[in-house]
Amino acid sequence: MPTLFKYDKGIKFLKKPENLTLIADPTTVKAAENCDAALITHAHTDHSLAFPNEGIRVYSTEVSSQLFEGLTAKKTKNTRFVELNKTTNISDVEVKLIPAGHLLGAAQIVFYFDDLTICYTGDISTDEMLTVPRAAVPEDDIDILITEATYGKEDLFFDSREKIKGSILKWVAENLQMKKVPVINIGHLGAAQEIIAYLNEMLSIDIYCDNRTSEINKVYLNEGHNLQWNRFDLLNDSELKVERSIVLLPRAAKEIPEFLKSHKISRGIVTGQASRFAYSSFEQAFSFSMHANCNELLEYVKVVNPQKVYTLYGFDSDFAAIIRQKLKLFARPLKMSKNRLTLEEFL
């Protein structure tokens, strides 16, 4: 019997006749029930909800586990740590985790089944950044590539990350010159650490973060990234130097902290979704993302050159069509419409 795989609130791999089931990045705790093991690519919570599940063996990098705890204040349980670029045996299946970029500790997963070699990217970035390397290309021939398609649509335009970071730097400097405190809404994990590292390198300023981002920063610091920041919840108002201070807020935050209300501020947001939406409540929106854009994803698929490609997340149908048109490879979304049987159900 062939190795079967499908999307079922995570990517399930079924190996017959052993009746072995592995799941990658389950999106609910229940999705991992009755599986032999769960594998987690990275710490963002849309991929890592299996971490606190005592009832299943979980495999990930150690850094992903630490970042999950910093991000959620929950403890990981029953977790086995896997080193990058080393082959590991999980329930009699050889598996290798290779760098994914995207954020610290993030991994792609290569599965070596008897009949298929399958690579699941998780979320990837193919650009070398200050806090993460670019995504690795598998050394092996890949039969099936399951790739993210978060920004897999050609009309989602991104400038180069260096150009966007330069625009953020210019905006920060101009506001500080006008005695305005730049306030940036940004994701706790990934983009925040990259922007902090960049501003640390370029300007002598004081960067203030919320407690959750601070806990994540500590993990990056322990991994050798010399981030410099302060927690704004420990700040006395008299300590804030308006001419040299910048404040980072959680991406969804609407209200500003009390200590800022007596100061002139300028609001900005950093998110890849600024390539899609206007964010008119902010003075400036920067379309910076730790995800690969459409062209980067397409180049990655081209270099891997798998036999078949399945797309997942975001613009999965659009990106599958682009792959078929431009690379002449078999490609379709992994999530199937409800009125179509999966191969497993058909068999």
| Residue 303 near residue 295 (C-beta atoms within 8 A) | no
Residues 184 and 81 in one domain: no
Are 259 and 139 part of one and the same domain?
Answer: no
> Which CATH number fits the domain that encloses residue 262?
3.40.50
DSSP letter for each residue of 59-98: EE-HHHHHHHHHHHS----SEEE--TT-EEEETTEEEEEE
Whether residues 61 and 201 share a domain: the answer is no
Q: Which of 238, 265, 286 is the last residue of a domain?
A: 286
- Residues 288 and 163: their CA atoms lie apart, in Å, by 10
Task: Tell me: do 200 and 309 sit in the same domain.
Answer: no
CA dist 281 → 44, 134, 192, 253, 267 (Å): 26, 33, 20, 12, 8
Q: How far apart are alpha carbons 269 and 287 in whole angstroms?
A: 9
Residue 136 pLDDT more than 90? yes
Burial 6-33 (b: 16+ CB within 10 A, else e): bbeebbbbbbeeeebbbbbbbbebebbe
| Residue 51 pLDDT exceeds 50 | yes
Q: What is the CATH number of the domain that holds 116?
A: 3.60.15.10
Structure-block tokens of residue 130: 């200050």
Q: Does the pLDDT at position 188 exceed 90?
A: yes
User: Is the CB of residue 107 less than 8 Å from the CB of residue 98?
Assistant: yes
Domain boundary among 249, 271, 286: 286
The whole-angstrom separation of Cα 247 and Cα 116 is 49
* Contacts of residue 57, Cβ cutoff 8 Å, sequence gap at least 6: 36, 37, 38, 78, 80
* Structural domain ending residue among the three candidates 286, 309, 329: 286
Q: What is the mean pLDDT of the chain?
A: 93
User: How many domains does the structure of the chain reveal?
Assistant: 2
Identify the H or E element spanning 333.
strand 330-333
Tokens 């902290």 identify what position?
A: 257
Helices then strands, each counted (H, E), the chain: 7, 19
How far is 347 from 339, CA to CA, in rounded Å? Answer: 16
Contact 140, 94 (CB under 8 A): no
Tell me, what amino acid is at 214? S
Tracing tokens 């405190």 back to the chain, one arrives at: 181
What is the spatial distance between Cα 16 and Cα 253, in angstroms, rounded to a whole number?
48
pLDDT digits (tens, 9 = 90+) for 278-287: 999 999 999 9
Domain that holds residue 210: 161-286
- pLDDT tens-digit profile of 205-260? 999 999 999 999 999 999 999 999 999 988 776 678 889 999 999 999 999 999 89
Of all residues in the chain, the percent with pLDDT exceeding 90 is 84
Calculate mean pLDDT across residues 171-194.
97
**Whether residue 147 sits in one domain with residue 12:** yes
Residue 224's SS3 state is coil
